C-alpha cells in the first residue's frame, strides 16, 4: 500500500478534518465489547491512524492493545494525545500485508476502512491469510468497509465497496459471519459515508 500517501495525509491535514475522523468510535467500541472477550484479550487496530478508538478502548478497561499503521506521523499523534497512557499500547509502523504476526497472536482484529483500499484479489487474499494466522480460533475479526452504495474513493484513492454478504464471503474460508450492521458516518465537512461492519468469528 502507498506508505508515502498516508504520511503526506497526516502531515498536511488536521486529524479532526480527515474524512474518517470520529470524536468517539462508538460502533467499533460496542462491537468489540459485544464479543464478550475479557479486558485482557489481545486486540489489534489495523490502520489505527490517529483514531480515538485506542483512547476509547483504554478508557473501557482493555489492557492489551496493538495499533498498526503505515503512517508513523499518525501513530505519533495518538501517542502525544494519550501522554503516559501511550506506554500501555504496542505501536507498530508497517503494512498489514507484510507485518510478521505470530500465530494466534490476537483475540480481536479490528479494521475500520483499510480492507476496502485493497483493490486486487491477490492483496485481498493476502490480507485474509494474515488475519487468519494472527487471530486465535474462536477469536474475532471486525471489518468495516464502504458499503455497496458508499463512496467510490477515499482520500483520492479508489476503494472496493462491499455488501455485508460480499465481505463475509471474502473471509469465509477461515471466518464465520456472526453479525453485520450499517453505519452512516458524517464526515467533518458534513457529507455522509455509508459503511458496512462485519463481525466474523475465526473457525
The reported pLDDT for the residue numbered 66 is: 98
CB neighbour list of residue 10: distance below 8 Å, 6 or more residues apart:
18, 49, 50, 71, 73, 74, 77
The reported pLDDT for the residue numbered 154 is: 83
Per-residue pLDDT at 53 exceeds 70: yes
Using the CB atoms, write b or e for 13-49: b if 16+ within 10 Å. Answer: eebeebebbbeebebbbebbeebebeeebbbbbbbbb
The reported pLDDT for the residue numbered 155 is: 76
Per-residue pLDDT at 2 exceeds 70: no
Q: What is the pTM of this model?
A: 0.90
Average pLDDT value over all residues in the chain: 91
Per-residue pLDDT at 181 exceeds 80: yes
The arithmetic mean of pLDDT across residues 151-163, rounded, is 89
Among 68, 157, 73, which residue's Cα sits nearest to residue 116? 157
The reported pLDDT for the residue numbered 5 is: 67
- For residues 84 and 193, which has the higher predicted lDDT (pLDDT)? 84
Helix axes 72-82, 3-12, angle to 10 degrees: 40
The reported pLDDT for the residue numbered 187 is: 75
Helix (H, G, I), strand (E, B) or coil at 75: helix
Among 27, 2, 4, 6, which residue's Cα sits nearest to residue 15? 6
Percent of the chain topping pLDDT 70? 89
The arithmetic mean of pLDDT across residues 102-108, rounded, is 98
The reported pLDDT for the residue numbered 189 is: 73
Helix (H, G, I), strand (E, B) or coil at 174: coil
pLDDT band at 114 (very low <50, low <70, confident <90, very high): very high
Amino acid at each position: 500500500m502507498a506508505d508515502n500517501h498516508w504520511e503526506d495525509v497526516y502531515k498536511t491535514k488536521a486529524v479532526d478534518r480527515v474524512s474518517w475522523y470520529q470524536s468517539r468510535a462508538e460502533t467499533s467500541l460496542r462491537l468489540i465489547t459485544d464479543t464478550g472477550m475479557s479486558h485482557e484479550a489481545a486486540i489489534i487496530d489495523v490502520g489505527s491512524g490517529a483514531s480515538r478508538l485506542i483512547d476509547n478502548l483504554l478508557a473501557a478497561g482493555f489492557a492489551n492493545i496493538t495499533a498498526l499503521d503505515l503512517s508513523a506521523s499518525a501513530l505519533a499523534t495518538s501517542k502525544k494525545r494519550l501522554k503516559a497512557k501511550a506506554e500501555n499500547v504496542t505501536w507498530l509502523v508497517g503494512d498489514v500485508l507484510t507485518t510478521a504476526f505470530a500465530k494466534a497472536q490476537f483475540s480481536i482484529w479490528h479494521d475500520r476502512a483499510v480492507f476496502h483500499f485493497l483493490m486486487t484479489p491477490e492483496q485481498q487474499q493476502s490480507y485474509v491469510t494474515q488475519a487468519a494466522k494472527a487471530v486465535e480460533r474462536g477469536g474475532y475479526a471486525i471489518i468495516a468497509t464502504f458499503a455497496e452504495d458508499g463512496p467510490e474513493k477515499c482520500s483520492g484513492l479508489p476503494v472496493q465497496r462491499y455488501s455485508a454478504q460480499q465481505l463475509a464471503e471474502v473471509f469465509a474460508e477461515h471466518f464465520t459471519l456472526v453479525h453485520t450492521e450499517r453505519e452512516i458516518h458524517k464526515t467533518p465537512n458534513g457529507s455522509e459515508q455509508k459503511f458496512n461492519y462485519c463481525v466474523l468469528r475465526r473457525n
